[in-house]
Amino acid sequence: FFSTDVKGAIEEADIIFASVNTPTKVKGIGAGRAADLRYIESVGRTVAQYANGNKIIIEKSTVPVKTAQALDRVLNANKGKQNFWILSNPEFLAEGTAVKDLDDPDRVLIGGPTSDEGVVATNILVDIYANWVPRERILTTNLWSSELSKLVANAMLAQRVSSINSISLLCQKTGADVAEVSRAIGADSRIGPKFLNASIGFGGSCFQKDILNLVYICESEGLPACAKYWQQVVDMNEHQKEAFSSKLIASLFNTVTNKKIAVFGFAFKKDTGDVRETPALTVCNMLLQDGAMVHVYDPKVQKEDALIEFKYHDMQVDENRLIWESTPQKAVDGAHAIVVLTEWDEFRTYPYHEFKALMMKPAFIFDGRNILKHRELEDMGFEVHAVGKGRTPDGKLNVLVDP
């Protein structure tokens, strides 16, 4: 059921999930890194105002460690005779697969107070999840471990992306193939293959926000070396986007002024229209700043959403040079290059031999997601550039097999 009756919902509920936004602060102390907890605080004040009995409050939002302590102070400073117990139950849902992740999660994490009453409250939530999640996948911890685990999970995933991307740059210099390196190291059961696909970098609303929050916490706790370590994950991600864009421009005879560039994909990943922190933002901005005519095709993203993200990042965009196309054919017609920035499955199946006939010559493809069949494209006559793939003396990509 959906309702705007906050008072009535709080009065009727025994368990209240706090699932509000925790954006990064944009001004003041910690701006650009610290989490803005105004909405979490508002939840505490609202619950305390309308609660008519004992309540279990569950943090679903991604929050800094010790947020439950602040929420507890707000609740208890404004309560009557009722009692509150705060649990941490962070969500690990991925955009595009959220329902599947909820139905069949790798794990459910529940953190609670270590007092007897806190353990009872934790077990109540455990019993709810146990209706469809096997008990062995339900992990219980103290509050602080649970709050921190969500940030660390995203930081570790992003770290793998930045790590393999740093190796991709070395592969391009040495003639190695990052896909082969990824396959070789991913076969080691201690490492595993996930999040080892080199690309133009990670995006989305969580990874960068959560890492910068972790950096800020480390600094606040007097751990500058730890803060620098995690900051480097973000710095490497930025470097990868800029390096890809610089190589693109250099390959097009060091100028893209008034050249039409076809961009395939603007979302930060496939199966979503989300453009928050998308790597395409940096690439398109660098192309526009260099004078290119950027024609974008994305099956889900609207131009208005992209312009909002440009504005959020204080990037000035000439809308006459940023054109949204309704078909990939319109995007490539007369283009000097195709630039793949999102791994949409349909991009793998396009008739690139037909696209080449529509393009200026020499025709270039820059595969920022390493999803295309590079040798086939070279046989068609494209000059192909991919992430983390070296070149042979004759200028061809040094690849044994196509992805």
Q: Amino acid identity of 273?
A: G
Q: How many CB atoms lie within 10 A of CB 80?
A: 9
- Please report the pLDDT score of residue 80 as a whole number: 79
Compute the distance between CA of residue 296 and CA of residue 301 in angstroms, rounded to an integer.
10
Per-residue CA distances from 257 to 158, 160, 252, 364, 389 (Å): 34, 35, 10, 16, 27
- Please report the pLDDT score of residue 74 as a whole number: 93
Per-residue exposure over 86-117, b if at least 16 CB sit within 10 Å of its own CB, e if not = bbbbbbbeebeeeeeeeeebeebbbbbbeeee
Which residues belong to the active site?
A: 91, 150, 206
Instruction: Identify any residues that bridge with 37 across adjacent strands, giving them in sequence order.
Output: none
Backbone angles phi, psi at 209, to 5 degrees: -60, -45
Q: Which DSSP string corresponds to 35-48?
A: B--HHHHHHHHHHH
Per-residue CA distances from 63 to 10, 69, 118, 146 (Å): 22, 11, 20, 10
Compute the distance between CA of residue 347 and CA of residue 378 in angstroms, rounded to an integer.
17
119 token code pair? 């353990």
E-assigned strands of 308-361? 322-324, 337-340
Instruction: Identify any residues that bridge with 110 across adjacent strands, giving them in sequence order.
Output: 140
- Please report the pLDDT score of residue 389 as a whole number: 95
Residue with the two structure tokens 């395409």: 280
- Please report the pLDDT score of residue 393 as a whole number: 86
| Cα–Cα nearest to 59, from 32, 31, 84, 91 | 91
- pLDDT by residue for the chain (403 residues), tens only, comes to 789 999 999 999 999 999 999 999 989 999 999 999 999 999 999 999 999 999 999 999 889 889 999 999 999 898 778 899 999 999 998 888 899 999 999 999 999 999 999 999 999 999 999 999 999 999 999 999 999 999 999 999 999 999 999 999 999 999 999 999 999 999 999 999 999 999 999 999 999 999 999 999 999 999 999 999 999 999 999 999 999 999 999 999 999 999 999 999 999 999 999 999 999 999 999 999 999 999 999 999 999 999 999 999 999 999 999 999 999 999 999 999 999 999 999 999 999 999 999 999 999 999 999 999 999 999 999 999 999 998 888 888 888 777 6
Task: Decide: pTM greater than 0.95.
Answer: no
Residue 302: strand, helix, or coil: coil
Are 15 and 125 spatial neighbours (Cβ–Cβ below 8 Å)? yes
Three-state secondary structure string covering 237-284: HHHHHHHHHHHHHHHCCCCCCCCEEEEECCCCCCCCCCCCCCHHHHHH
